[in-house]
Amino acid sequence: MPARPFARCCRLAALAVACALAPAFASASGLQVSPTSLTLQAEQAADGLWLSNSGDAPLQAQVRVYAWTQVDGEDTLEPAQAIAISPPMVSIPVGGRQLVRVIRTGAPAIDRELAFRVVVDELPLPDGERDPGLQFVLRYSVPVFLAPEGEIAPDLEARLSRYDGRPALDVVNDGRMHAQLADLDYVDGNGQRHRLKPGLIGYVLPGQRMRWPLDAPAGLLESPGGHFEARINGEPEARALPSSAPAR
């Protein structure tokens, strides 16, 4: 199977949102997945995800795993070799739950974290088993990481660039661990904080670069003495992103 952009893999999530705005006779899904991410330590052979059904009808879901890389600033999913999941198909009654195991399959020694996505697709019920009206299904994409031995941390460098004529933030991660960025601010030379992107921004995997367009005047972002700040990997406080010269 060829590599696929991550955005394409998530189209069903957008479909779910669209259907959620449909009339009241639409059938709501009760599929829940927890936790929202997993890390298998170097000595850990397996872990698990819990799929539960809080809805009013039984549900079926398909579970797949992909290797997750980043190419030219885009998330890419490819067939996974280092981990497997079991079972790949589940049926969950109302109020029930199902454990899906995430299993390391003898990955060779690694010097930096490996990243994967476990994709859980709820399957539409057959026509004879569902209520009349619209039905929407959910897709979850859960980050899974295989950690190497020893202490690991992200090592980030940010710089201002341009993308399609707009200012953009480039972030390079030279560390051995992923960085999840949230709540991006720009602090100008006077110490005034400007919120650029609230909530989750995205991930930068080890050894990779990501780019995010910014809705802010370029003049603001080029002010002397300013810098970017973000929360990293769920930390409660934002930290400054070390910066290099802007890309032109």
User: What 3 state SS string does 17-49 have?
Assistant: HHHHCCCCCCECCCEEEECCCEEECCCCCEEEE
pLDDT of residue 91 exceeding 80? yes
Residue 184 has pLDDT above 90, yes or no: yes
Q: Indicate the pTM of the whole model.
A: 0.83
Query: Is residue 151 over pLDDT 60?
Result: yes
Strands 46-53 and 114-123: unpaired
Q: Where in the chain is the domain with CATH 2.60.40.10?
A: 4-146, 156-240
Q: Give the span between the Cα atoms of 204 and 145, in whole angstroms.
A: 13
Confidence of residue 109 (pLDDT cuts 50, 70, 90): confident
Contacts of 162 (CB under 8 A, 6+ apart): 168, 218, 247, 248
CATH code that applies to domain 4-146? 2.60.40.10
**Which CATH entry fits the domain spanning 156-240: 2.60.40.10, 3.90.76.10, 3.20.10.10, 1.10.357.10?**
2.60.40.10
| Span 61-79, average pLDDT | 95
Most confident of 7-11, 70-74, 193-197: 193-197
For residue 206, cis peptide bond before it (omega within 30 degrees of 0): no
pLDDT value of position 108: 66
The Cα–Cα gap between 27 and 19 comes to 9
Instruction: Quote the pLDDT of residue 23.
Output: 37
CB atoms within 10 A of CB 153: 11
Query: Residue 17: its pLDDT value, please?
Result: 34
For residues 74-87, give the mean pLDDT: 94
Element (H, E) at 11: helix 11-20
